[in-house]
Amino acid sequence: MMAMKRLLVEYKELSLRPPAGVAAGPAGDETNMLEWECVFLGPEGTPYDGGCFHSTLSFPKDYPLNPPVMRFTQPLWHPNVYPDGKVCISILHEPVEDKFGYEQSCERWSPVQSIEKIILSVISMLAEPNDESPANIDAAKMWRTDREAFDAKADECVRKSLGWA
């Protein structure tokens, strides 16, 4: 019940003041608030500029105590996106101590985070990948060593997102 109330409040806020270049809300109708769809326009001046990227947000029943899972539903060549589309950014990591010591607990999920903050973090991720902690090692390596090839693969994703490839 707590999750549904919180998600409804966040949905209303996002409907009134959506972040630029993003549309987000419950998938289908508002009967299942635990499954959302998001559409991101590729940030201007990035390799994803001009793309239209669809994703899902799946919320746990104990939201906001635990984070949702975000997954792009089409291929996205990016250091912080697993090959299956799952997004790997700190704000979406469970609120437990990082056993590798890479992230501080304040960087991970907490109940004060919001869907808007997730969306803004993903926009930032698209603009500036974190190649120090990659979900896609090949994309991170290419980002570091061959930006031209990386940009070409990202452009393929943009074209596919628009139905051009």
Q: Domains, the chain, ranges and CATH?
A: 2-154 (3.10.110.10)
On whether the pTM is more than 0.85, the answer is yes
What's the Cα-to-Cα distance from 142 to each of 65, 88, 101, 120, 153, rounded to whole Å? 36, 18, 25, 25, 10
Contact (CB, 8 A) for 32 and 115 = no
> 40 pLDDT exceeds 70?
yes
DSSP state for residue 105 in the 8-state scheme: G
Q: What is the pLDDT of residues 61-75, one digit of tens each?
A: 999 999 999 999 999
| 97 compared with 45, residue with greater pLDDT | 45
Q: What is the pLDDT of residues 99-129, one digit of tens each?
A: 665 666 767 899 999 999 999 999 999 999 9
Q: What is the pLDDT of residues 121-164, one digit of tens each?
A: 999 999 999 998 899 999 999 999 999 999 999 999 999 999 99
**Does 52 qualify as catalytic in the annotation?**
no
d(C-alpha 68, C-alpha 95), whole Å: 12
Q: Name every residue whose Cβ is closer than 8 Å to that of residue 139 and which is 6 or more positions away in sequence.
A: 77, 78, 79, 81, 129, 150, 153
Residue 134 exposed, middle or buried by CB count within 10 Å (0-12, 13-18, 19+): buried
| Dihedral sign computed on CA atoms, order 43, 48, 50, 54 | negative
Catalytic residue, candidates 38, 88, 106, 157 = 88
User: Which strands sit side by side in the sheet containing 52-58, from one edge to the other?
Assistant: 22-26, 35-41, 52-58, 69-72
